[in-house]
Chains A and B, each alone.
Chain A
């Protein structure tokens, strides 16, 4: 693994195609950093779930999609992935689609998960061991 991998920062509009874009950017970044394929796969899945949640829920009550911010940092033995939005958050809704699988999946595959929600949006910070 490269000891000093530059961080990845990307901000895109929360449209459905942002899911694949940010997932691909994460995979490309971590592969370039030389990380084990198993770790790359875990981060790929976690980013997909977190971005999907933001696309579906963050701007439900807004006139249009707002931004999603992705940050990926490789720090020694840890990969830190943060997905943040500037929307209304993931309040329980009766009309919400899906079976609510995304967050349980993230909680299962990440080493740690922190979720913060406030007036300025929702932030999900996930860490993974750089070696499986």
Chain B
């Protein structure tokens, strides 16, 4: 099968982690699914009680329900361990599934990193 000329087509997950004090920002690129969701949870392993995790999805091109389940597991961890979890939503494909699964009812979801208070 050809992957085509579009380099974003079928791109694997890219994970970058930035730690500033007690805040860990995780920025994702590519596609979040069953095969890559564990990478997100691994990236968030270092968040400490009283700290914060900002998950930046603005450059993520695709996410399915396996990604939603990973977000829900992180939310449970945040509640159990006492840290704040914020999701920055991004492109239309990602916005759609976040809205469809009403993730914003349970997790803090913002449109822009600049709007994080």
- Chain A-chain B contacts (Cβ-Cβ < 8 Å), number: 78
A27 contacts the other chain (CB 8 A): yes
Q: A20-B10, A24-B10 are in contact. Are A52 and B69 (CB under 8 A)?
A: no
B17 contacts the other chain (CB 8 A): no
User: What count of chain A residues pass the 8 Å CB interface test?
Assistant: 29
Interface size range of chain B in the complex: 20 to 34
Q: A23-B10, A27-B9 are in contact. Are A52 and B34 (CB under 8 A)?
A: yes
- Smallest CB separation, A89 vs chain B (Å): 19
B23 contacts the other chain (CB 8 A): no
* C-alpha spacing A19/B92, complex, angstroms: 20
Contact A44 B62 (CB under 8 A): yes
- Smallest CB separation, A67 vs chain B (Å): 15
Contacts of A27 in B (CB 8 A): 9-10
Contact A55 B34 (CB under 8 A): yes
Contacts of A23 in B (CB 8 A): 10, 31, 33, 62
Q: Could you give, for residues 91-103 of chain A, a 1 whenever the CB lies within 8 Å of some chain B CB and a 0 otherwise?
A: 0000000110110
Residue of B nearest to A25 (CB): B1
* C-alpha spacing A125/B72, complex, angstroms: 29
List residues of B whose CB falls within 8 A of some A CB.
Answer: 1-4, 6, 9-10, 12, 31, 33-35, 62, 64-66, 68-69, 72, 92-93, 96-97, 100-101
